[in-house]
Amino acid sequence: MRSLINILDFSKEEIEDLMWTATDIIENPDSYREACKYKKLATLFYEPSTRTRLSFEAAMLELGGSVLGFSEANSSSAAKGESIADTAKTVSCYADIIAMRHSKEGAPLVAAKNASVPVINAGDGGHNHPTQTLADLFTIKREKGRLDNLTIGFCGDLKFGRTVHSLISAVSRHENIKVVLISPAELKLPSYIKENVLKKKGIEYVQTSDLSEVISELDILYMTRVQRERFFNEEDYIRLKDSYILTPEKLENAKRDLSVMHPLPRVNEISRAIDDDPRACYFKQVINGKYMRMALILKLLKEAEI
C-alpha cells in the first residue's frame, strides 16, 4: 500500500506529475468535482492545526468525497491508551485514506505499516511535513517558473522546523541550488541534515546569523516561526522567539522578484506591512497546498485500486 511519509518517497517525476494535476485542477475544476465520490478521508490530528487539517478537508470535499476524524488527541481513543497501530487498523475499516499529524516523530510511519489504506504524513514532530513541501514546491514553480538555479534562504527555527527539513531534502534533488541557513546558534539546522542531504548531494550552503547581510542574494526567503511547542525550556523560547522579524526596511536590499514564503501560522516574524508587497507568497502557499493535496489524494487512491 503506497503512502507518503517522507517527501523523498516520491520521485522528482512523480512530484512533477502532481504539479501537473494540481494545475489542471485549477484550470478545470469541474472535471474533478466528483473524482472522489463515495470516498472517505480520515483526518487523525493529534496536534493542533488550522491550515493543514482544513486544507485536507477542503481538498477531499472539493473532490466530491467526505471527511471524518478528530482534531485533538483528547477526543480520540488515544486518551484511553490506544496505540497508533490499533488506531490505524481500526480507522482503515471506516475510511479510504488517512491523513495523520502527530507530535512524535515516526508516528505516521507506524500508522502506514499497520493501515490497510494509504496514509499521508501531515506532520510528525520536528521530523517531516511532506504535504507542506508539496505546497512549497508548487508555489516556487508557479512564482519562478523553475525549481533549479535558485538561491534559497531559510530563516528562523531551522533546528525544529520540519517544513524546513522536508523542503531542503526536496530541493536538493534539483540542479544549481544554493542554500543559505539563517538562524541563531541555538536553532541551527541539525547536523544530520547537513551531512546526509547538503554535503552528500554536493549542495552549496552557508550559515549565518545575520539576515541583512545575505538577503540581497536570495531568490526565495523561507521564514519560519520559533515554535514554543518544541522547547523544553520556556526561558529559551522567550529569549529566541523574536530573533528574526522581517520588516519592509529589511526588504529594501532584496531582489525585486524575491519570493517571501512562510508555512504559517505566523506570529510576528513577518511584519503585516509586508502582506501587500507583491513579493509576499505565504497566502499563495495556502491555496497551492489545497490543490497539491487534491492531486496527492487522487494519486494515492488510484494506486490503491490498482
> Which residues touch 79 (CB under 8 Å, ≥6 apart)?
73
Q: Is 80 a known active-site residue?
A: yes
Cell of 84: 497508533
- Which amino acid appears at position 205 of this protein? Y
- The single-letter DSSP state of residue 76 is S
Q: Name the catalytic one among 21, 40, 43, 52.
A: 52
Q: Is 129 a known active-site residue?
A: yes
Q: Look up cell 522536508; give the residue.
A: 166
Q: Is 50 a known active-site residue?
A: no
Dist CA 255 CA 277 (whole Å): 12
Q: Look up cell 518544541; give the residue.
A: 230
Q: Are 296 and 31 contacting, i.e. CB atoms less than 8 angstroms apart?
A: no
- In which element (H, E) is residue 130 found? helix 130-144
Longest dimension (CA), the chain: 55
Q: Name the catalytic one among 40, 53, 101, 299.
A: 101
Q: Name the catalytic one among 2, 51, 174, 279.
A: 51
Q: Is the dihedral of CA 188, 190, 195, 201 positive or negative?
A: negative
Dist CA 72 CA 80 (whole Å): 13
Q: Name the catalytic one among 129, 165, 194, 290.
A: 129
What is the three-class DSSP state of 259? strand
Q: What are the Cα distances from residue 192, in Å, to 7, 111, 200, 203? A: 17, 25, 10, 14
Phi, psi (rounded to 5 degrees) for 61 = -65, -40
Q: Is 266 a known active-site residue?
A: no
Q: Is 133 a known active-site residue?
A: no
Give the active site residues.
51-52, 80, 101, 129
